[in-house]
Amino acid sequence: MLNPVTAYPFLIVSDDGKQVKRGEKTKLNISSPQRYDSAPRKGLFDMSPRIGYYAIWWSANQLRVLTSPLTKVKISSRLRRVGIYVDCEEGQVVFYNAKAGSAVYAFSGEEFSEKMLPLFGTGDKDVPLVLVTPETNIPE
C-alpha cells in the first residue's frame, strides 16, 4: 500500500492506497519519520544503485535502466504490468514483465544496509499507476 505521508507533494494517493496519479501540488512537503532521508531527493542527481535507487524508466518509446551510464533494454512492446522481486539476502532487485512472466532487468550482487522503500513516478495526469498483487485481476 502507498503511504500518502511519504508521497511526493504532486502525487495523489487513492483512499485505499493502491493507486497514485500526478496532480497539482496538494500538500506541503513536511518532514516525517516515515520518509526516507538517506538517499538524495532534492536537486539534480543520477538515480542509480550507487546512491540507493534501483529503477527503470520508460521514455521516448524506450525502456531504460537507471544505471550509470543508462542501460537501454530492448523489449517488444511497452510494458503495461511490471513486477518487482526483491531478495535482500541474495542482493537482487528484478523487474519483470508481469503479464509474460519474463525478466526485464536484474540488479544483482547488491548489499542492502537499510530498509528499502518503493518510489513510483507517473507522467500522465489522467492515467493512475495501480498497485496489484499477483492475485489481482484488472482489465488491460
Question: What 3-state DSSP class applies to 48?
Answer: coil
99 CB neighbour count, 10 Å cutoff: 13
Interatomic CA distance for residues 140 and 132, integer angstroms: 12
C-alpha cell at 29: 512537503
Q: Which residues contact 72 (CB under 8 A, 6 or more apart)?
A: 62, 63, 64, 65
Sign of CA dihedral 59, 64, 66, 70: negative
Interatomic CA distance for residues 107 and 86, integer angstroms: 10
Which pLDDT score, from 0 to 100, does residue 27 have? 60
- For residue 8, pLDDT over 90 is answered with no
Q: Considering the chain, what percentage of its residues have pLDDT values greater than 90?
A: 23
> Mean pLDDT for the chain?
81
pTM over 0.85? The answer is no
For residue 69, cis peptide bond before it (omega within 30 degrees of 0): yes
Which pLDDT score, from 0 to 100, does residue 29 have? 58
